[in-house]
Amino acid sequence: MPSKHVRLLVITGLSGAGKTQALQSLEDQGYFCVDNLPPSLILKFAELCTQSQGKVTRAAIVCDLRGGEFFSSLAEALGDLHAEGFQYEILFLEASDEVLVGRYKESRRRHPLSPGGGILEGIQMERQMLTDLRGVAHKIIDTSNLSSQQLRHQVAEIFGSEQTSGHLAVSVVSFGFKYGIPLDVDLLIDVRFLPNPFYVSELRPLTGEHPQVKDYIFSNPVAQEFVDKYLGLLEFILPYYVKEGKRHLVIGVGCTGGQHRSVAIAERIGVFLQERHYTMSVKHRDAARNRKGDKLK
């Protein structure tokens, strides 16, 4: 019986959310990619990959509503994969109704559930149809505020490297609660209890990456004690995530506007992870948005 050690990624989600860009990113990373594969063929596709004599070790397929009536059998097809011993992951892409409507108007394409028009109705119907599938997804990416290039980079960062058991990639994201909590956060920290540099006039235009802001925050003994205790917690729990086979962990650090406190704490966590040789990245989602007072493009 051929080895079933093939990394299989199923990409699905809302129409217009960026599945094509995600698939292209994976293709650039060496995945064998198939777009719009009917679910009834997924098991056969996986079996063919195992018969490639090691030439195909990573594969990605897109399954979505373009498959029409075939798409309804996706849950059954995934059950068959599991029953046959194949391991797979589901990447679910979504975006807000407003953003999706804008993308459809820009591309002048029709929504697959609204061939006669009514883009918003089609989006809402599709969102409802995909509720159960979203609930079992291993990774959810909201592309509302991502450019195509940013999405491709994020997908490559999460799925691009050969990740095996014993390897964990950690993303640290600072954000402002007034802009909403990132949807894909696994561990959430609220640092709004710390003194806010926003109320210090010379620090207000700066971000938490600036040495003056860092000095202001960490001169507070409460901030230093909190960071020491939280890093101790990470030191304890991260090996257990690795042991359980988790491949990607997202740590969200939030303050009011996402400009000062959350940025400084996220940077400190990033240094900790780097010193321990975790594959890691630190992103500051709202630092520029809060400083400029508008939304990131």
On whether 293 is known to bind a ligand per the annotation, the reply is: no
On whether 67 is known to bind a ligand per the annotation, the reply is: yes
On whether 12 is known to bind a ligand per the annotation, the reply is: no
On whether 207 is known to bind a ligand per the annotation, the reply is: no
Q: Which CATH code fits 7-159?
A: 3.40.50.300
Using alpha carbons, select from 174, 156, 140 the residue that is nearest to residue 283: 174
- pTM (2 decimals)? 0.60
On whether 48 is known to bind a ligand per the annotation, the reply is: no
pLDDT of amino acid 70: 53
154 Cβ contact partners less than 8 Å away, ≥ 6 residues apart: 141, 146
Q: What does each of the 297 residues of the chain score in pLDDT, given as a tens digit?
A: 344 578 899 999 999 999 999 999 898 888 999 998 888 899 999 999 888 877 788 899 999 877 555 566 888 898 899 898 888 999 999 999 999 999 988 887 778 787 666 888 889 989 998 998 899 899 999 999 888 888 988 898 888 765 443 467 899 999 999 999 988 899 999 999 999 999 999 999 999 999 999 999 999 999 999 999 999 999 999 999 887 767 789 999 999 999 999 999 999 999 999 999 888 889 999 998 865 443 332
> Where, residue-wise, is CATH 3.40.50.300 in the chain?
7-159
On whether 187 is known to bind a ligand per the annotation, the reply is: no
On whether 161 is known to bind a ligand per the annotation, the reply is: no
On whether 79 is known to bind a ligand per the annotation, the reply is: no
On whether 14 is known to bind a ligand per the annotation, the reply is: yes
On whether 16 is known to bind a ligand per the annotation, the reply is: yes
